[in-house]
Amino acid sequence: MHKPSNGVIRILVCRVQSRLCGLPLQDVEETLRPQPLRPLAAPVVHVQGLARIRGDWLPVVDLAGLLGLAAAPVHRYVLLRAGGHRVVLAVAEVLGVHTLPAEAARALPPLLQDRSHAAVAALAERDDELIAVLDHARLLPDDWLAALSAAPAAAAGARAGAAS
């Protein structure tokens, strides 16, 4: 998770099924309605396909699946900058930007520091609700990002080959 500035953490809070997830605001480029998907033989699990956003084909990743949850209806996309790449997370709802005191974000308890919670950098509370603050570096490892970045080019090449 990024270091807090001025003693606060700014996160974009999203709902994934009944859970609240926070994404560090400095990683969020924009939120938007879901776009039509082009299926893709994904090199990474939980990739729903490619969506054309602002002229670029970007991989769309199901955040529920990444978090080990069952598939759920998607009503919003969150476009992230992650390690020099752009990737779209599919979520149920975007609740807005929240500013939390840095001390409100606590490390995971030892019993939850396992592989199934690897994407969760910290836990925060807001109005008696628990927010899992996610870290894109844990959520989308570098090798996944590299594979996802190569996917649009490979898909375009396959379409061009099929057209000839």
Does residue 14 have a pLDDT over 60?
A: yes
Residue 1 lies in a domain: no
Which pLDDT band holds residue 148 (cuts at 50, 70, 90)? low
Q: Is residue 159 part of a domain?
A: no
Q: Supply the CATH number for residue 150's domain.
A: 2.40.50.180
What secondary structure letter does DSSP report for 10? Answer: E
- For residue 41 the two structure tokens come to 């033989």
Encoding tokens for residue 4? 């807090």
* Location of structure tokens 């997370």: 89
Rounded mean pLDDT of the chain?
A: 80
Neighbours of 39 (CB within 10 A): 10
**Residue 162, in any domain of the structure:** no
Structural domains in the chain (count): 1
Q: Which of 2-11, 78-87, 108-117, 130-139 has the lowest mean pLDDT?
A: 108-117
pLDDT of residue 32: 97
Question: In whole angstroms, what is the distance from residue 25 CA to residue 104 CA?
Answer: 16
What band does 101 get if pLDDT is binned at 50, 70 and 90?
confident
Select the more confidently predicted residue: 92 or 2.
92
Region 108-115: mean pLDDT is 55
Residue 141 lies in a domain: yes
Q: Would 84 be classed as within a structural domain?
A: yes
**What is the H or E stretch that residue 15 is in?**
strand 8-16
How do beta strands 93-101 and 56-62 pair?
Answer: unpaired
**Does residue 161 fall inside a structural domain?**
no
Structural domain for 136, as ranges = 8-154
Give SS3 for 62: strand
| pLDDT for position 21 | 93
Both tokens of 59, joined, read 């991989």
Backbone angles phi, psi at 107, to 5 degrees: -65, 155
**DSSP string for 23-36:** EEGGGEEEEE---P
Per-residue pLDDT for 91 more than 90? yes
Q: Is residue 3 domain-resident?
A: no
Report field, pTM of the whole predicted structure over 0.75:
yes
The single-letter DSSP state of residue 112 is G
Predicted confidence (pLDDT) per residue in 124-137, tens digit: 887 888 898 888 77
25 vs 124: which has the higher pLDDT = 25
